[in-house]
Structure 1
Amino acid sequence: MAMMDSLAATKARVDSLKRVVEEQKARKDKYAEIIFQQSKVLSACEEKCKKDSKCREEVEEAISWYNRVLGFRIQCGLGIKFIFKNINPNDPKEEYYFTIRHENDVYSLLDSDPCLNDTKGLIIELNKSNGLFQFVRTMREKFEATTSGTSPNTITLVPDTSTITASAPVSSISTCISSESPIKQKALQAGDSDRLPKKPNRGKGRLSDLKAPESSSVRRSPCHATKLIVVWKSGLGATRATID
């Protein structure tokens, strides 16, 4: 009787252990599946990490090129500050910058140096298209245009040859003939010796012998009044002034 009870207890324990083994086996299979899934995710992450690393190297190389050639760099703060150099040919180290802020999926322009026109339209287009690269390129082009428009003032002297001819107004050559005889002054004022009225010869010589100075002599005269046209170029346009 005791033997039968012992066998029954042993059999029950064996059955219990079998159930534990089966549970452990099921748990092992479950864990194996989890490990397999995690290994797949890990492989994907490693592949993505390799791509990101390569992309980061390319970005760093591009940033280095932009910084070297365009003098471009970025600073972070209240917004993103885009800084450019190599814009002004007279001063390549001069900095031009603008700062934009992206908050709640909306771009806003905080400041710009130098100030630019039509930036509101660019910001509206940026918020519509989300094309930040195009916006930055357009801002640099505007900086370049501003630099071209504000180049150092230049003065161009252009001689006006229309006032150097023999038929020029008397006022333009009056300062040059003050030392001439009254008869020669009268001849110059008439502009041509052929226009002088002929008078009877009374032994004083013919007036026709007094010829008006040729146009070439007037051009060579050191004291003739030459008009100079002064052109002042600036970013607002060109101003033309005539100096007698």
Structure 2
Amino acid sequence: MVMTSEQSTRLKMAQVRLACEQEIRACCERSGLLATSIRESIKSIKPLVENAETNRGKLAMLKDYLKEMESTFREALKANASKEAKHASISEAISAMAVRIEYLKKTVDDQRAKKDEYEAVLSQQLLALQKIEEKNEGDVIEIKNLKEKTNWYRSVLGFHAEGGEGVKFIFSKIDRNDQDKEYWFVLRLDGDIYTLLHCNPELHDIDDLIEELNRTNGLFKFVRSMREKFQEISCKGTHSIAVSSPPPKSTDSQMEAFVQTNPSLQSKKRQAGSLHKVVPSPAAILTPQSFSARRRSPRFLVKNLP
């Protein structure tokens, strides 16, 4: 016999009703156990227990509201499904948050390690910077003194040096009739050998000076001797004593002290072969001492000019 739709619905309703009754009976049993436990453990909540007993009587009235409960039950199922989905979403979020927390902890540890490392490096850099600043202060004072002495040599002796194929030593204030007239010679250091490339005006009998220069490395003495040679030519040309006579011992002592206290002046730098290039700067003028500092070999060698 085929069941009608109405009978099928009634059968389902009866099954739901039976399930509800079973649930109600289970709830009643749990409520009784809960009431007993509450009475035994917490005597201070007696009014609540009495209220629970009253509610137990009201459970019978639920049968009259089964239809309402059916709709409510459906809504509860929907709400439960929504809660389960929300619970799953929250669980995933918690898992992701846990991973994120571990990553952040590791990042914090790495950043702390880097911070300690950077602090150590920064401390070292600050100490190095402090030393550099102290050195710079000394260099500024040294450069200032160097400029003053360089200006003194230019104004009093008319002496300065230029870089190029070799080192060009230039003198003025020698000729009494022309204080601006320049006397100069070009000296090159090729390995351990000094070579006189050019000389204006040309000087004779200076082979001994060059030989002594290569033997003793006394460049300062050689430059002073060359100036004296230029003064002799000037005196012979004018038949009188030049205004810029050979500098007295006090002047030579000042020049020698200047050279010895300023070893940091620009010097010849070795490049390909025997060719040396020097780029002069306004703040540094080549001196005999700084040029001769590049030669340390004791070989007694002389290279004669062609």
TM-score (norm 1): 0.49
Normalized per residue, the structure richer in helix is 2
Structure possessing the higher relative contact order (Cα contacts under 8 Å, 6 or more residues apart): 2
TM-score (norm 2): 0.41
Tell me which structure has the larger Cα radius of gyration: 2
Normalized per residue, the structure richer in strand is 1
